[in-house]
Amino acid sequence: MIIPPYLKPGDKVSIVSPAKIILPKEIEFAIKELEKQGLVVELGKHTFSKWNRFAGSDEERISDVQNALDNLDIKAIFFARGGYGSVRIIDQLNFSRFINFPKWLIGYSDITVFHQHVNSVFNVATCHATMPLNMQDKELNKISTKQTLDLLFGNDLVIETNYHPLNKTGKVQGKIVGGNLSVLCSLIGTNSFMSPKGKILFIEDLCEEKYHLDRMMFQLKKSGYLQSLKGLIVGGFTNMTDVSGWFEKDSFELINDHVKGFDYPVTYDFPAGHISLNRPIIFGKNNELEVNSSGTVLK
């Protein structure tokens, strides 16, 4: 996997909106935080455009992302927010210059489309991390922002989490791939899917019905992916619902039902996803995952 050059003070970075609409006031704090680190922030021409619920038409969003990909002065692309829309534009983008001059792509949620596509098709690592929308003047958000920037500036990061009763112990090394589970499952069988076979899979999600979660886990299992992992990191499953009353168990218990028979380490409630403390993970880079009786350590 190709690792893009790490950032340094004075580098220019871009903020673009490939998905849902965003307002200028929602990323004012993020711009200031990036500038405090010595970065020069450039906004896409259509960052604050609007077309229905999208941040501009497909053509406008394609234009912004393409310009950021092609501009050799831009060393990293921060996606402003998720929502929905990345899948509508991913196949219209030309990554030929990006391949020769890779740069960091940063985001989560709907940005899973970019992670999967770039990891799989171009063998380039990406950063699953907080986005400008979430870079807020709040304690946990500020920690997420700091750790994301530390990682992008090339500093090693060790994440330690508390013990969870459903954890399965073990120690493995491997590349982490994945992202938002709903988006991930929607890409299976497409040209943008990065197979997690032989890798550590990370998953998280937001506001899904539990029966939908159960169905997605069956999809991963029936596709042959769950049984072929090196490890599984289960992040935040935030505001999950059971309006239809299908299950009397939480999301982690549902996931555990599908993976408890497999012989690899599993950690639950990992601090990444649609949560304020959204710790960064580099997708495609070798990591060491250790799950023990005390908790979890990701290096």
Residue pLDDT, tens place only, 215-246: 999 999 999 999 999 999 999 999 999 998 99
How many Cα atoms sit within 13 Å of 250 on the Cβ side? 8
Tokens of 97: 């210059």
Spans of the chain below 70 pLDDT: none
What is the pLDDT, as a whole number, of residue 214? 98
Instruction: Using alpha carbons, list the distances in angstroms from residue 160 to 97, 143, 231, 290, 296.
Output: 37, 14, 16, 10, 6
| The CATH number of domain 159-298, selected from 3.10.180.10, 3.30.420.40, 3.50.30.60, 3.40.50.10310 | 3.50.30.60
**CATH 3.50.30.60 placement within the chain:** 159-298
Residue ranges, comma separated, of all CATH 3.40.50.10740 domains in the chain are 12-152
Per-residue pLDDT at 104: 98
Task: Provide the pLDDT for residue 135.
Answer: 98
pLDDT of residue 244: 85
In which residue are the tokens 């680190």 written?
A: 37
Q: In angstroms, rounded to a whole number, what is the distance separating the alpha carbons of residues 200 and 202? A: 7
Kindly report the backbone phi and psi dihedral angles of residue 77, in degrees, each rounded to the nearest multiple of 5, phi listed first. -120, 115
What is the pairing mode between strands 159-162 and 295-298? antiparallel
**Interhelix angle 139-152/28-36, nearest 10 degrees:** 50
Interval 166-207: pLDDT, tens: 999 999 999 999 999 999 999 999 999 999 999 999 999 999
DSSP designation for 37: T
Is the pTM for the entire model greater than 0.75? yes
Dist CA 112 CA 131 (whole Å): 13
Q: Residue 163's pLDDT is what?
A: 96
Tokens describing residue 46: 């259509």
Q: What is the DSSP letter of 206?
A: E
The side-by-side arrangement of strands in the sheet containing 159-162 is 159-162, 295-298, 286-291, 170-180, 200-206, 231-238, 266-267
Q: In Å, how far are 39, 51, 182 from 10, measured between CA atoms?
A: 5, 34, 37
* Exposed e or buried b per residue across 65-92, where buried means at least 16 C-beta atoms within 10 angstroms of its C-beta: bbbbbebeebbbbbbbbbbebbbbbbee
**Residues 6+ positions from 163 with CB-CB distance below 8 Å:** 293, 294, 295, 296
- CATH class of the structural domain 12-152: alpha beta
